[in-house]
Every structure is written in structure tokens, then in C-alpha cells.
Structure 1
Amino acid sequence: MGTTDSSITGWYKSSYSGGDQGECLEVARDNPDVPVRDSKTTTGPTLIFSAHGWTAFVTAVKEGHIEP
């Protein structure tokens, strides 16, 4: 689901993101689901994943099933 809900707070970037090179995602903490957005377009759309769906995606990337 996509949203531009500005009420979502607690955004952070991973320390592994490589700085401000424009290829980063931000994830919001302390939400029942997992909001994700493009760090260079913070007022743009936000994708909302279930916690299970986000965990499965991250695991698949880490295991090399999906290329970042």
C-alpha cells in the first residue's frame, strides 16, 4: 500500500547506507507495520509493509535471492 501520510514519525537510515549518495531507504520505527520511503524524496510516497513481509524481503536480499 502506498501513502503520503505525514503523520508517520521515527524515520531512520541504516548506518550501512553509505552516507548521502541518494540511494537510501528510510524505515520508520515504532509502527505496527513497516513504513518505507526514498530518503531523497521524503514528502513522496511511502510504502507500507507488514512486519512479516518486510522481514521476508530483507532475508531474501541478505541471502542473495533478490539483488539490491
Structure 2
Amino acid sequence: MTEQSASQAMQTELDVAPWRKSTYSGSNNNCIEHAPLPSGRHAVRDTKDRSLGAHVFAPTAWQAFVTAVQDGSL
């Protein structure tokens, strides 16, 4: 797969992702959205400016992040 086709595949995956707004987001537009991707990765984006794109994490990195948030180490 070429770099361009990999990029297009990633964009397609993001376009069809089931985005959900964080339940911790307030009403003042300080919101993030999360989406599990078909590839098993996870994406996060800012709802104020979706044109900035998304941060995409491998499954192990996402799990480490979630664990750190849950145990208070982050």
C-alpha cells in the first residue's frame, strides 16, 4: 500500500467512524469525540474544529491511556 492510499484508507475509516461526544464534556464547547475504528485503532478529535483532524491511537496505546485516566495517574 502506498503512503497516499494508506492516507486515503485512514480518511475513509475516520469518515465512517461512529463518533461519540464525551460524557465529561461540558456545555461550553470544550468537547472531544471518540470513535473506535474498524482497524481496531481509536480516534479522538476536538468538536470545536473537526477540520484539524483526529489523533489516532493503536489499541495498546489507547488501553494504556484509558487505564491511566481510570487509575488517576494521568
- TM-score, length basis structure 2: 0.65
Map residues 1-68 of structure 1 onto 2, 5 A cutoff: 5=11, 7-8=13-14, 9-19=17-27, 21-31=28-38, 32-66=40-74
- Equivalents in 2 of 1:52, 1:7: separation in Å? 19
- RMSD over equivalenced CA pairs, Å: 2.3
- Structure showing greater radius of gyration is 2
Please report the TM-score for the alignment, with normalisation by the length of structure 1. Answer: 0.70
More helix, by proportion: 2
Letter in 2 for 1:52: T
Specify every segment of 5 or more residues in structure 2 that has no aligned partner in the other structure, as ranges.
1-6
Aligned residue pair count: 63
Segments of structure 1 that go 5 or more residues without pairing to the other structure are none
Higher strand share: 1
Identity of aligned residues (%): 35
